[in-house]
Amino acid sequence: MDYVWATFLVLTLFAGWLLTLFSLPGNWLMVGVAALYAWLIPADSPGQLEWGWVVGLLVLALLGEALELLAGALGAKSGGGSKRGMVLAVLGSVVGSIAGAFIGVPIPIVGSIVAAVLFAALGALGGAMLGEHWKGRPLEESWKVGQGAFWGRLLGTVAKISIATTMVILTVVGIFWPS
């Protein structure tokens, strides 16, 4: 087994997982790096990642995107938000997740992760409310749109991070315990 490449792959998988946590395309990084690894490591080598695993990761990444999109769309639809509110909800979500990771919450070991997810949802709420207020909607309507953005972002992020976690586990299993 080429431990250097396997270590690089595992570290990159964790980096991809962290990117997903911050609403960035980490799942796609995982698929790309797994495909590169499968292409670089010969088929008869120990630690080879078979192409079937890569296709499985691709399907999981697509599922993660679909779940996140569905949750976000249902959240936005439930609130009746405008395009401006949705765009600001996305921006607020990214800013919130980064701020949450730095601020953290007082939970041992996973406090920064929980805060990143929670603050992303709060950022979506704030961004959506700002966008709706900017459009001239009253506070009650803005709050309703913000709540939809909050729950859509929260559920979408949890679904996508769950998929990312599954992708990391399956890839490590595929390398170290081949079929």
Three-class secondary structure assignment of the chain? CCHHHHHHHHHHHHHHHHHHHCCCCHHHHHHHHHHHHHHHCCCCCCCCCCHHHHHHHHHHHHHHHHHHHHHHHHHHHHHCCCHHHHHHHHHHHHHHHHHHHHHCCCCCCCHHHHHHHHHHHHHHHHHHHHHHHHCCCCHHHHHHHHHHHHHHHHHHHHHHHHHHHHHHHHHHHHHHCCC
Q: In whole angstroms, what is the distance from residue 101 CA to residue 92 CA?
A: 14
**Does the pLDDT at position 151 exceed 70?**
yes
Question: 179 or 91: which carries more pLDDT confidence?
Answer: 91
pLDDT higher than 80, residue 26: yes
Structure tokens, 101: 């990771």
Q: How much is the pLDDT for 23?
A: 79
What was the pLDDT predicted at 158?
92
d(CA 153, CA 96): 11
- pLDDT for residue 162: 95
pLDDT of residue 159: 93
- Residue 150's pLDDT is 94
Cβ(175)–Cβ(49) below 8 Å? yes
- pTM equals 0.80
> What's the mean pLDDT in 102-114?
83
Q: Which residues contact 47 (CB under 8 A, 6 or more apart)?
A: 1, 2, 3, 5, 6, 41, 175, 176, 178
- Predicted confidence (pLDDT) at residue 47 exceeds the cutoff of 70: yes
Q: How confident is the prediction for the chain on average, in pLDDT?
A: 88
Number of domains comprising the chain: 1
Model pLDDT, residue 16: 95
| Predicted confidence (pLDDT) at residue 179 exceeds the cutoff of 80 | no
| Structural domain containing residue 129 | 3-176
